[in-house]
């Protein structure tokens, strides 16, 4: 028997704030987890701002405003998700020992830890990223690598998942990371519903290097737009660089370079991520067999689909379906 989203237990989310916190990242956390969308099938999130000392918290803003925070860190000790937003600077004074201890406790008991932008520095100081991978705003990536030499800093990632810790790139990358976490804890349909309300794609392609020297806007296909639209509607077709280049009337070398320039990723990586997303939708909303889902999503075999699910979502298609399937309806048509 499948669960109705409204019956899924409430997920508690604690967003840790202190003096000098960034207002944008607080806004991202609040928009993703603080808005009640249960009428649209999204599970309930009990979202609260918490602080080492409840009361007035100054915000890093030219407008000079402050927040009144009602809850202390005790709520973080029972939360399913602990969020660490960005702070005024990346120095050791960004957060006190109480915050570091709260993050360590959350990590030890298996809660999700989500850092936004330079919040990754706080998680690194707490020791929950030791020996793993992480990202942060491209402007601070070199500093992070120098300060934490055992950490692999992925300078070009919008977000990185290391176990149950997710770190995001700067500013808008926080949205990508938050939606990724929603996918993991509530399913792709819930993430898509939230993204649609935010006028965002559930998953953006490419990395943050495309933003390092220019305006921070999402990169879309330009000359390749018709081909990319066709690819999205034909994920079940077995594409190669050669076949796609021929369809675009380019040499393979020119096509591969153009695709990377316009989409910020390779054709193979683009196809894999979109096929995983398509498979998630089918697993959530249909009773198709795993072989049928794999075929319609373009993986060909259930074994290959399982490999990509492990790589992208750190779970199996069967486990994903058991957790997130909410209804039994005919197979979705490919748009």
Residue 203 has a pLDDT of 66
Report pLDDT digits (tens) over 123-177.
999 999 998 999 999 889 999 999 999 999 988 788 899 999 999 998 788 998 9
Model confidence, pTM: 0.70
Within a 10 A sphere around the Cβ of 139, how many other Cβ atoms?
12
Rounded Cα gap, residues 252 and 9, in angstroms: 50
Q: What is the pLDDT of residues 225-242, one digit of tens each?
A: 899 989 999 999 999 999
Q: What is the pLDDT of residue 1?
A: 36
Whether residue 176 contacts residue 182, with contact meaning beta carbons closer than 8 Å, is answered with: no
Which domains does the chain show, CATH number per domain?
Answer: 5-197 (3.40.50.880), 223-335 (1.10.10.60)
pLDDT of residue 306: 95
To the nearest whole percent, how much of the chain has pLDDT over 70?
A: 87
Helices (H), 164-213: 173-186, 188-197
Are 41 and 327 in contact by the 8 Å Cβ rule? The answer is no
Question: What's the confidence (pLDDT) of residue 220?
Answer: 56
**What confidence tens digit (pLDDT) does each residue in 168-217 have?**
998 788 998 999 999 889 888 898 899 888 877 666 655 554 343 322 33
- Which has more pLDDT, 215 or 85? 85
Check residue 284 and give its pLDDT.
87
């Amino acid at each position: 028997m499948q669960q109705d989203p409204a019956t899924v237990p409430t997920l508690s989310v604690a967003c840790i704030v202190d003096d000098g916190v960034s207002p944008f990242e607080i806004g991202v956390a609040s928009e993703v987890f603080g808005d009640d969308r249960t009428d649209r099938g999204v599970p309930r999130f009990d979202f609260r701002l918490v602080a080492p000392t409840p009361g007035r918290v100054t915000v890093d803003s030219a407008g000079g405003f402050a927040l009144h925070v009602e809850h202390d860190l005790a709520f973080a000790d029972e939360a399913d998700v602990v969020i660490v937003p960005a702070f005024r600077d990346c120095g050791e004074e960004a957060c006190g020992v109480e915050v570091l201890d709260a993050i360590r406790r959350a990590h030890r008991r298996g809660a999700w830890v989500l850092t936004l932008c330079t919040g990754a520095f706080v998680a690194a100081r707490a020791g929950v990223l030791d020996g793993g991978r992480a990202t942060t705003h491209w402007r601070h990536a070199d500093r992070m690598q120098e300060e934490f030499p055992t950490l692999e800093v992925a300078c070009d990632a919008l977000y990185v998942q290391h176990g149950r810790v997710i770190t995001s790139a700067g500013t808008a990358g926080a949205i990508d990371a938050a939606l990724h976490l929603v996918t993991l804890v509530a399913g792709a349909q819930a993430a898509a519903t939230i993204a649609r309300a935010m006028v965002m794609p559930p998953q953006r392609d490419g990395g943050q290097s495309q933003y390092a020297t220019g305006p921070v806007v999402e990169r879309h296909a330009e000359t390749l737009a018709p081909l990319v639209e066709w690819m999205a509607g034909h994920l079940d077709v077995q594409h190669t660089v050669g076949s796609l280049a021929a369809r675009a009337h380019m040499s393979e070398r020119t096509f591969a370079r153009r695709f990377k320039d316009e989409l910020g990723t390779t054709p193979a990586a683009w196809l894999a991520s979109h096929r995983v997303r398509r498979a998630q939708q089918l697993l959530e909303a249909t009773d198709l067999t795993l072989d049928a889902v794999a075929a319609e999503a373009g993986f060909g075999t259930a074994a290959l689909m399982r490999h990509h699910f492990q790589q992208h979502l750190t779970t199996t298609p069967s486990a994903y379906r058991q957790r997130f399937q909410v209804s039994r309806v005919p197979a979705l048509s490919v748009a």
